[in-house]
């Protein structure tokens, strides 16, 4: 008898065969997010051409859902313009994955945060004006990382 999985077929597909894994050595933007307490860390690299994500790669250390979320996110935003990529939400990812266990929702947010940080990094490096919404998100992400690191010491 086959044991039912906690995870959808889509989650298992992206976990077993993750997409866009690796490093872009000459990335236009790099973003990192994670929670060292739970062990999920994502790093996203982007190449931008004509204001679109021409290429995206990710490194991910984490659980099944963290890896699946990061893989799916990279496939969703590849080819998107930066503004639209910033509009992708954790709920969009969760829906496309066919749902995730409630305790794993934070993994979707971490992947989104890493992408936001990569785009923020791209804007910053190229002296492109950064929207207040993205500045606020960057501040929240940085404060969260600092808080988690303090608690982990």
Ordered by start, the domain boundaries in the chain are 9-152
* Active centre residues (catalytic): 38, 107
Q: Which class is 9-152 in CATH?
A: alpha beta
Q: And the tokens for 64?
A: 């099944």
Q: Report pLDDT digits (tens) over 63-108.
A: 899 999 999 999 999 999 999 999 999 999 999 999 988 888 777 7
Contacts of 27 (CB under 8 A, 6+ apart): 45, 46, 47, 57, 118
As a whole number of angstroms, the distance between CA 116 and CA 33 comes to: 9
Closest CA to 122 of 37, 34, 54: 54
What pLDDT was estimated at residue 1? 47
The model's pTM: 0.91
Task: Find tokens 């934070």 and name the residue.
Answer: 106
């Amino acid at each position: 008898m086959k044991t039912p999985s906690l995870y959808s077929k889509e989650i298992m597909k992206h976990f077993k065969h993750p997409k866009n894994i690796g490093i872009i050595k000459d990335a236009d933007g790099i973003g990192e997010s994670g929670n060292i307490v739970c062990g999920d860390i994502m790093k996203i690299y982007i190449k931008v051409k004509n204001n679109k994500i021409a290429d995206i790669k990710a490194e991910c250390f984490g659980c099944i859902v963290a890896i699946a979320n990061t893989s799916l996110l990279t496939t969703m935003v590849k080819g998107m313009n930066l503004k639209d990529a910033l509009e992708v939400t954790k709920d969009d990812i969760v829906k496309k994955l066919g749902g995730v266990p409630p305790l794993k929702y934070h993994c979707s947010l971490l992947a989104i945060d890493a992408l936001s940080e990569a785009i923020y990094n791209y804007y910053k490096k190229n002296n492109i004006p950064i929207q207040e919404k993205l500045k606020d998100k960057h501040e929240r992400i940085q404060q969260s990382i600092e808080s988690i690191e303090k608690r982990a010491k």
